[in-house]
Amino acid sequence: MAVVDDHGEQDRAVDAGADAAVGAARAVEESGRRPLVVDLCTGSGAIAVAFAAEVPRARVIAVEIDSAAAELARENCRRHAPRRVRVLRAVTENAVRA
């Protein structure tokens, strides 16, 4: 039995979503307002760093529940987007309930 794992369609969907989000933030920026970008479950902080680079006037907040991941995100954001991204560690007791 062969397993084919083609992420092409999934990758295109993720790219389209990211492009739409960046486009929306840029539209807010172009209207003279400062966009707010919140990256929930930030993990390494890579998406927050990318937003900080792509939308220079955006206020970027990265939120992570795992303390080790939050520390990694802080380190990455300091290194790649100094003073551009605020990393917060969420506490599960304060999480939004469905």
> Going residue by residue through the chain (98 aa), what tens digit of pLDDT does each one get?
444 455 677 777 777 888 898 899 999 989 999 999 999 999 999 999 999 999 999 999 999 999 999 999 999 999 999 999 999 998 766 555 54
Structure tokens at 31: 């209207």
Question: Cα–Cα distance between 30 and 34 in angstroms, integer?
Answer: 9
Helices (H), 1-98: 8-30, 46-54, 67-80
The predicted model scores a pTM of 0.79
Using CB atoms within 10 Å of the CB of residue 78, give its burial: 0 to 12 exposed, 13 to 18 middle, 19+ buried: middle
Question: Cα–Cα distance between 77 and 50 in angstroms, integer?
Answer: 10
